[in-house]
Amino acid sequence: DAGVIQSPRHEVTEMGQEVTLRCKPISGHNSLFWYRQTMMRGLELLIYFNNNVPIDDSGMPEDRFSAKMPNASFSTLKIQPSEPRDSAVYFCASSPSGGGGYTFGSGTRLTVV
């Protein structure tokens, strides 16, 4: 397995633009997580899916953020409109159901100017 695959690796966009981050979890992993990492706040859990269903999106900072998981092999995190304070590294992770270690993707470094 190639691991959790995220794209793009880097994204630079202007304030107000829409940004879409993509994630392909490990096949067979039932849980998918989106995290945001900044120097100030560390790793923050944004949203958690189990069997493609959003279970907890209480970490999504604002309505500008939305996430979908249309099938077991694909998830997106969308920011519309983007703002400079959204600049961060966004990680997707997956894990088997029932607990256990997470497998993280390499992250998307987002810069909003």
Partner 1 sequence: SQQGEEDPQALSIQEGENATMNCSYKTSINNLQWYRQNSGRGLVHLILIRSNEREKHSGRLRVTLDTSKKSSSLLITASRAADTASYFCATDARYGNNRLAFGKGNQVVVIP
Residues that bind partner 1 (CB under 8 A): 4, 31, 33, 35, 42-43, 45, 48, 55-56, 91, 93, 95, 97-107
Shortest spacing between CB 82 and partner 1, in angstroms:
22
Place of tokens 């998830």: 75
Question: Which pairs from 98-102 meet CB under 8 Å and 24+ separation?
Answer: 102/33
**Nearer of residues 15 and 43 to partner 1, judged by Cβ:** 43
**Nearer of residues 65 and 90 to partner 1, judged by Cβ:** 90
- Return the C-alpha torsion angle 54, 23, 20, 51, nearest 10: -20
Per the rule left: phi > 0, alpha: psi between -120 and 50, beta: everything else, 98 is left
Shortest spacing between CB 71 and partner 1, in angstroms:
21
Shortest spacing between CB 63 and partner 1, in angstroms:
21
* H helix and E strand count, the chain: 0, 11
Shortest spacing between CB 62 and partner 1, in angstroms:
20
**Nearer of residues 75 and 95 to partner 1, judged by Cβ:** 95
